[in-house]
Amino acid sequence: MLVFKGQPKLLGQMIGLISIVVCLTILFVSAIFFTLIGDLTEKSLGNQAMTVAKMAAQNETIIQAFDDPDPSIRIQSVAESIRKSTGAGYVVIGNKDNVRYSHHIKKHIGKKMGTSSKESLLNGKSVVYKGTGISGSAIKAKTPIYNKAGEIIGVSSVGFLTTEVDEARGEYQLKILFFALFISLFGITGAVTIAKRVKKLIFNLEPEEISFLFKEKEATLESIRDATIAVNNNQKITSINKRARNLLEGQISDEGKITNSRLVRMAESIIEQKESIVRQRLLFEHQLYVADGAPIWLNNQTKGAVLTIRPVSEIEKIEEEMSAVKSITDNIRAQNHEYLNKLNTIYGLMVLEQYEEARSFIAEEVRERQDIVVFLTSSVKDPYIAACLLGKIHRSKEMKVRFYIDENSNLSAVPPSFDTKLFVTVLGNIIDNAMEAAGRLKGEEALVSVSFTDIGRELIFDIEDNGPGISPEEEEQIFTEGFTTKDGDNHGIGLAIVKNTLQKLKGDLYISRSSFGGAQFTITIPKE
């Protein structure tokens, strides 16, 4: 794993960043709350002081006492009762001349009040303010006292000492401080937990390592000569190299999803079955490709699939050689099986001293072989088509299918421009399908017949069998890639290849009912 030194680790960066953000947030919020608490406390005490001042100003006993010879006797007791019950610092009642009738310090009774009291009397308004008097710094409220006639006869002054304000503010600020410390501790713990969780999710990699791995993956994908595509469970492409983009040009939706139905089915199968697939054949345009796929695992669940597509043409030399070897091997095996049976027959005749029968059997066998070779060499001038038909004759004997070539068939005027190497793919696939279809239905009574002619402006081949035939519904689907009536995987590609190859050769294929009861395929290819 690539390691980058000299840089702070992601875990430390995340813990530090989140912790700083949390602490700064708590700091600013606490500072705002400290300011608000002071203002709110003073405002609250001011409102409370005004309430107490108005309560005293509206007290009937105090209002009536103003008519007494010595108002302070009754007013002092009532004022002190109000002060103690409300918790005020002082409750002072004064007359129009600003002389005190009550005070919690008795020596100040009968003395002049502050000038602000005079203003309240003159203006007839209530005021709340912060000031310093004989009792000390306080939040003060003053309001005029009216008699029953509505005349101002005095002033009610109530104060809450700022020492009480400071005590209340200190209690609130201490609570905020403890709360801020708790939130900070909780935030730092959360930062550590989140940072460790994130690190675990990214496999303990640093950002530089992730960036490097991403670039490395991108370079690796682009260096792969095969088309490589990764999709998630919704068939959306998560990774794709240039080769795949070129191959799937026009087959990717605006949402970034694959629209090729065969690839979609392959990806769905991989995700649902949770198993890899290998060597699935499919067609793009006229080119045959082979696809492999594997599921993407995360926490023991499939989260997508990776598909690798490579054209058969890139390995066609090896495949051609292997195909040639396989074809030769199949022919040799078929011939060996057939010759071994006939050799055993000849040996038995020799042991039984049936020499004439043995001689006749050998002569007939040689004549049959010679007739086939002579017919093909004389009627079919193209060596590839002749070799294909000869191989199918041997193949039919191994499959125990009666294989006939119409003796009136002739193919001597094959134009030089005709790509016979490409055509034998068509002919071989159709004959193989015919033999398999007839063999499945009829067993040892299976029959396949081939006839061909070059009379006119076209080359015409007819392949008939006595198999189950092809229904009208199947005729519309048999050339679709992936459609098959056989069991197992990797079927449904042969006739799709036939269709695309005939398009290259500008030929046509017609399906009808055979005179043997099965299907008849008629191939027509223009000479020019």
What average pLDDT does the segment 472-486 reach?
68
Q: pLDDT per residue over 412-441, tens digit each?
A: 878 877 888 788 888 888 898 889 888 888
Strand ordering across the sheet containing 152-161: 90-95, 152-161, 136-146, 127-133
Beta strands in 287-358 (DSSP E): 287-298, 301-311
Query: What's the confidence (pLDDT) of residue 450?
Result: 93
Query: What's the confidence (pLDDT) of residue 449?
Result: 92
Going by pLDDT thresholds of 50, 70 and 90, the confidence category of residue 464 is very high
Whose tokens are 């795949």? That residue is 244
DSSP output for 156-223: EEEEEEHHHHHHHHHHHHHHHHHHHHHHHHHHHHHHHHHHHHHHHHTTT--HHHHHHHHHHHHHHHHH
Query: What's the confidence (pLDDT) of residue 451?
Result: 92
Multiple choice CATH, 379-526, 2.140.10.10, 3.40.190.10, 3.40.50.720, 3.30.565.10: 3.30.565.10
Classify strands 508-513 and 458-465 as parallel, antiparallel or unpaired: unpaired
Hey, where are the domains in the chain? 1-223, 225-314, 379-526
Query: What's the confidence (pLDDT) of residue 482?
Result: 56
Say whether pLDDT at 301 is over 70.
Answer: yes
Q: pLDDT per residue over 205-239, tens digit each?
A: 666 676 667 666 666 666 667 788 888 888 888 88
The burial of 192, by beta-carbon neighbours within 10 Å (0-12 exposed, 13-18 middle, 19 or more buried), is given as middle
Query: What's the confidence (pLDDT) of residue 53?
Result: 86
Residue 409 Cα to chain centre, angstroms: 60
- Alpha-carbon gap, residue 501 to 519, rounded angstroms: 21
Query: Which secondary-structure segment (H or E) carries 510?
Result: strand 508-513
Whose tokens are 């409370």? That residue is 48
Asked whether 497 and 484 are in contact (CB, 8 A), the reply is no
Query: Which secondary-structure segment (H or E) carries 439?
Result: helix 420-442
What is the average pLDDT score of the chain? 77
Query: What's the confidence (pLDDT) of residue 337?
Result: 62
Most confident of 76-85, 167-176, 245-254: 76-85
Query: What's the confidence (pLDDT) of residue 318?
Result: 55
Query: What's the confidence (pLDDT) of residue 362?
Result: 66
Asked whether 420 and 385 are in contact (CB, 8 A), the reply is yes
Q: pLDDT per residue over 304-351, tens digit each?
A: 888 888 776 655 555 545 555 565 566 566 556 666 666 777 767 777
Percent of residues, the chain, with pLDDT higher than 70 = 76
Query: What's the confidence (pLDDT) of residue 339?
Result: 62
Q: Residues 221, 222, 228, 230: is their CA dihedral positive or negative?
A: positive
Query: What's the confidence (pLDDT) of residue 195?
Result: 72
Greatest pairwise CA separation for the chain in angstroms: 173
| Record: fold of 1-223 | Beta-Lactamase (3.30.450)
Q: pLDDT per residue over 119-128, tens digit each?
A: 555 567 788 8
Which top CATH class is 225-314? Answer: alpha beta
Same fold for the pair 225-314 and 379-526: no
Going by pLDDT thresholds of 50, 70 and 90, the confidence category of residue 522 is very high
Q: pLDDT per residue over 23-59, tens digit each?
A: 777 777 777 776 776 667 778 788 888 888 888 888 8
